[in-house]
Amino acid sequence: MNSILDVFSKKLRKNILFLANNSGEASHIGGSLSMVEILTCLYAKILKKEKKSVFILSKGHGFMGLLACLYLVKKVNKKDFLSFQSSGSEFIAHPIMNLEKGIESSNGSLGQGLSFAVGIALAKKKKKENGNVYVLVGDGECYEGSIWEAAITATENNLDNLFVIVDSNGFQNDGPISNKMDTSNLIRKWKGFNWDVDTCDGHNLNKLLKKIKTSTIKKPRVLVAKTIKGKGVSFMENNNDWHHGRLTEKLYNKAINNLK
């Protein structure tokens, strides 16, 4: 395993838990922890090389993970980081666009981020600009019709500069999605919209890096990354109570000790 990326991902998990505890409010912890390795590969490696590329967080409730990541790469300062979910802060449960601080789009309602990303990718094509547009969506978010409207638009416009990563942790707010849309079903859906589709373990840094790479295939690309909601904290893993939950000091210390 790449030691630099490993250290980054461990710091990222600790920062997410710190944010949740520091705010004193209920937070979207489970879905933020499931996307740690994906964010690590993007921000600690890929986006550092691809200066013209952008990242869109379509599953906006995972903003705590993105904010913790932006703090690690010094796009957000400590004062702003600590203000998360406090009175008067611009850093709330979902992202509010702030290009200076690395937040490329506002996202609250699920399904909107991919449409926004399609627009950016299309503009890059028309302007002949370099760089890819990376979008992180949730598997539960793929119930939204706007996801598939955006998907067919991307195909029709040959947006090979668009790369979607599905954080497939198997849960949405209302519970498991496996009884209606399992991973294999989701793969068939993306293939049906004529995307180049791949899969991998969403917590394996080396595999993720190999999968998220520039391709000569003239299609939009999607990687269905199988993840674990609440990854890294034993009492949170696959426990949908932590989709949106509040940490006590005792639980926070237990979670941090888990990471060790």
| pLDDT for 241 | 87
Alpha carbon 225 to chain centroid distance? 11
* C-alpha–C-alpha distance, residues 20 and 253, integer Å: 12
**Residue 207 DSSP symbol:** H
**pLDDT tens sequence for the chain (260 residues):** 468 999 999 999 999 999 999 988 888 999 999 999 999 999 999 999 999 999 999 999 999 999 999 999 999 999 999 999 888 888 998 999 999 999 999 988 888 999 999 999 999 999 999 999 999 999 999 999 999 999 999 999 999 999 999 999 988 887 888 776 777 789 999 999 999 999 999 999 999 999 998 677 889 999 999 999 999 999 999 998 889 999 999 999 999 998 87
H or E segment and range at residue 57? strand 54-57
pLDDT of residue 215: 72
Question: Topology of 3-259 in CATH?
Answer: Rossmann fold (3.40.50)
What is d(CA 17, CA 68) in angstroms, rounded to the nearest whole number? 9
Q: Where are the alpha helices (DSSP H) in the chain?
A: 3-23, 29-33, 36-41, 47-49, 63-72, 78-82, 112-127, 145-156, 183-192, 205-211, 249-259
Please give the Cα distance from 38 to 44 (Å, whole number). Answer: 10
Cβ-contact 212, 136 below 8 angstroms: no
Chain mean position to CA 64: 10
Give helix 63-72 / helix 3-23 axis angle, nearest 10°. 120
* pLDDT confidence of residue 255: 93
pLDDT of residue 1: 47
In the chain, the largest separation of any two C-alpha atoms, in whole Å, equals 54
Q: Is the pTM of this model over 0.75?
A: yes
Distance of CA 48 to the CA centre of its chain: 17
